[in-house]
Amino acid sequence: MTVFEKSVAGRIGFRLPDSQIEEKNFDFATHLLRKKSLELPELSEPDVVRHYTNLASKNYSVDKGFYPLGSCTMKYNPKINEYVASMKGFTDIHPYQPWEFTQGALSLMYELKEYLCKITGMDEMSLQPAAGAHGELTGMLIARAYHLSRGDLKRHIALVPDSAHGTNPASAAMAGFDVVELKSTQDGLVDLAELERHLSDEVAVLMLTNPNTLGLFEKDIMKISQMVHSAGALLYYDGANLNAIMGKFRPGDMGFDIVHLNLHKTFSAPHGMGGPGSGPVGVKAFLAEFLPIPIIRKDAERYYPDFGLPNSIGRMRSFYGNFSVLVKAYTYILMMGKDGLTHASEMAVLNANYLRALISKILKIASPRRCMHEFVVDGSQFVKETGVKILDVAKRLLDYELHAPTVYFPLIVHEDMMIEPTETENKETLERFARVLEKVVEEARHNPEIVKGAPHRTPVKRLDDVNATKKPIYRWKKENSL
Ligand SMILES: *Cc1c(COP(=O)(O)O)cnc(C)c1O
């Protein structure tokens, strides 16, 4: 029931102070005036508090329980991030203020980009993009601007491995490239012979992530980098998830020219449900002139936004990006320090491998190789034996108050589950998840109907997820109330 449907005429929860302003009759055009009063819900304060508290408790979040969503890095978001982001000095400033008066905010952004450059091995960075996919688009536009600036007009192809995150080909296409898919090897790695076949003077860029979406490290990365560069193309790093490598090794050292990060994954800003994100883009020095404007710089006396980049791809977002997310990531980096970030990567990989070992006794793991921060379960045999789909297993996990892992991604493994526990989970939580998964697999063998009909205990059951994305209903109207 919506708050509108709970409304009772005349019930009051808030009283506005008496207006001190004298009423005047303005000559508004009559067609602009409201014909009847605004239909706001009328409820008491406890009604409102209960309404929203009950709604919030129906939701599942990383603050409520384990959230092993592969590729999404649902790590715990330290509460100090929220505290710092809500400090008056940050919330009461406006980007239109003269920058001489917002030195604190500019210095934070400057230092953050310096840290991120160090972490990734890049030379310059823009904090403007508002999400990972937005960072990819920024990176692709930079690649395009680079080739065009050299008069190299033939390069219309972006190579993308078949294991890539779906946003990669979409971003490359949006930037005007023709996307060509690279088939992975049986092991799920880049196939060097396949790459060789596709490289030409028409290729602008290869988009890659390492570790890849199967959680595997591309061991031939130096060779790949050398091949791509000798063909005159650029190497792009999808760094949405840096959780296995922070403090251990750097995209810049592996030969990548452009990288985007997801501060709302690796750097502990909350995400999901379309909340604000941040997808900074870092580049090597030879590409810095193409970054979006303004770039935040520092001279002897102060920090300032530099708009003087004639070859810039332009603005990618208003102002400086999602500033509150930048504050959260900055807080996280300072809290962790270099050793802390390195430790987080080590624990993320350890947790993933521990859980992988537990689950390998229950279901088949897609790759026999040791994983990095995540791993993929291959459920195809299980599905054949039981007739229960991996989607059903995922739904059944909800009944045990666990969030489901990512399913049906990456696309190169069928009936798969992609699991990323992150470093913030303890051993007991990982063991409980494995025990519950084992129980659900048992249920699938002996009582498949209960799994196929799941979830049974959640506020809503199976949803029409296609229509939820294709025809979302954002507005409540009286007519469609139940
Ligand atoms: C999440 C993710 C993205 C996209 O990031 P958004 O912020 O959701 O746009 C891109 N690549 C990979 C590997 C990801 O995990």
Q: Do 121 and 260 contact (CB within 8 A), yes or no?
A: no
Query: Distance (Å, rounded) from C-alpha 224 to C-alpha 419?
Result: 27
Query: Distance (Å, rounded) from C-alpha 334 to C-alpha 330?
Result: 6
CA trace torsion 162, 163, 168, 172 (10° rounding): -20
The topology under which CATH files domain 79-336 is Aspartate Aminotransferase; domain 2 (3.40.640)
Measured from the CB, is residue 73 less than 6 Å from ligand 1? no
Q: What pLDDT sits at residue 273?
A: 62
Measured from the CB, is residue 133 less than 6 Å from ligand 1? yes
> 103-120 vs 323-359: helix axis angle to the nearest 10?
30
Q: How close is the Cα of 160 to the center of ligand 1, in Å?
A: 15
Q: What pLDDT sits at residue 482?
A: 46
Query: Distance (Å, rounded) from C-alpha 353 to C-alpha 423?
Result: 11
How would you write the pLDDT of the chain (482 residues) with one tens digit per residue? 889 999 999 999 888 888 888 888 778 888 888 888 888 899 999 999 999 999 999 989 999 999 999 999 999 999 999 999 999 999 999 999 999 999 999 999 999 999 999 999 999 999 999 999 999 999 999 999 999 999 999 999 999 999 999 999 999 999 999 999 999 999 889 999 999 999 999 999 999 999 998 899 999 999 999 999 999 999 999 999 999 999 999 999 999 999 999 999 999 999 876 568 999 999 999 999 999 999 999 999 999 999 999 999 999 999 999 999 999 999 999 999 999 999 999 999 999 999 999 999 999 999 999 999 999 999 999 999 999 999 999 999 999 999 999 999 888 889 999 999 999 999 999 999 999 999 999 999 999 999 999 999 999 899 888 998 899 888 888 765 54
Which residue among 71, 74, 140, 167 is best mutated to probe the pocket of ligand 1, counting the most ligand atoms within 8 A of its Cβ?
167
Q: What pLDDT sits at residue 382?
A: 97
Measured from the CB, is residue 277 less than 6 Å from ligand 1? yes
- How does strand 416-419 pair with strand 375-378? antiparallel
**CA 136 to ligand 1: nearest atom:** 10
Phi and psi for 282 in degrees, rounded to 5?
A: -110, 150
Which residue among 69, 259, 262 is best mutated to probe the pocket of ligand 1, counting the most ligand atoms within 8 A of its Cβ?
262
For the record, the structure tokens of 299 come out as 């001279």
Q: How close is the Cα of 237 to the center of ligand 1, in Å?
A: 12
Q: Do 447 and 435 contact (CB within 8 A), yes or no?
A: no
Question: 360 Cβ partners below 8 Å, 6+ apart?
Answer: none
Query: Distance (Å, rounded) from C-alpha 324 to C-alpha 338?
Result: 22
Boundaries of every domain in the chain: 79-336, 338-468
For the record, the structure tokens of 240 come out as 């949405």
Q: How many helices (H) and strands (E) does the chain have?
A: 14, 13
CA end-to-end distance (rounded Å), the chain? 8
Name the strand (E) or helix (H) holding 306: strand 303-306
Sign of CA dihedral 303, 309, 313, 315: positive
Measured from the CB, is residue 209 less than 6 Å from ligand 1? yes
Measured from the CB, is residue 69 less than 6 Å from ligand 1? no
Nearest CA to ligand 1 atom 12: 240
Measured from the CB, is residue 171 less than 6 Å from ligand 1? no
Query: Distance (Å, rounded) from C-alpha 25 to C-alpha 193?
Result: 78
DSSP 8-class letter at 412 = T
Identify the CA nearest to 265 among candidates 238, 292, 291: 238
For the record, the structure tokens of 479 come out as 């007519």
**CA 71 to ligand 1: nearest atom:** 15
Which residue among 165, 168, 214 is best mutated to probe the pocket of ligand 1, counting the most ligand atoms within 8 A of its Cβ?
165
CA trace torsion 268, 269, 273, 276 (10° rounding): -150
Nearest CA to ligand 1 atom 8: 132
**CA 277 to ligand 1: nearest atom:** 7
**CA 164 to ligand 1: nearest atom:** 13
**DSSP code string of 327-338:** HHHHHHHHHHHH
Which residue among 241, 316, 317 is best mutated to probe the pocket of ligand 1, counting the most ligand atoms within 8 A of its Cβ?
241
**CA 134 to ligand 1: nearest atom:** 9
Enter the pTM of the model.
0.92
Q: How close is the Cα of 385 to the center of ligand 1, in Å?
A: 33
Q: What pLDDT sits at residue 153?
A: 96
- ∠ Cα 236 240 242 (to 5°): 95
Strand partners, 160: 181
**CA 264 to ligand 1: nearest atom:** 7
Q: How close is the Cα of 261 to the center of ligand 1, in Å?
A: 9
**CA 271 to ligand 1: nearest atom:** 7
Q: How close is the Cα of 165 to the center of ligand 1, in Å?
A: 7
The CA radius of gyration of the chain, in Å to the nearest whole number, is 25
Classify 338-468 by CATH class.
alpha beta
Identify the CA nearest to 216 among candidates 188, 186, 250: 188
- ∠ Cα 197 201 203 (to 5°): 70
Q: What pLDDT sits at residue 479?
A: 66
**CA 209 to ligand 1: nearest atom:** 13
Q: How close is the Cα of 37 to the center of ligand 1, in Å?
A: 44
Nearest CA to ligand 1 atom 14: 240
CB contact burial 232-255 (16+ within 10 A = b; e otherwise): bbbbbbbbbbbbbbbbeebbbebb
Phi and psi for 184 in degrees, rounded to 5?
A: -80, 165
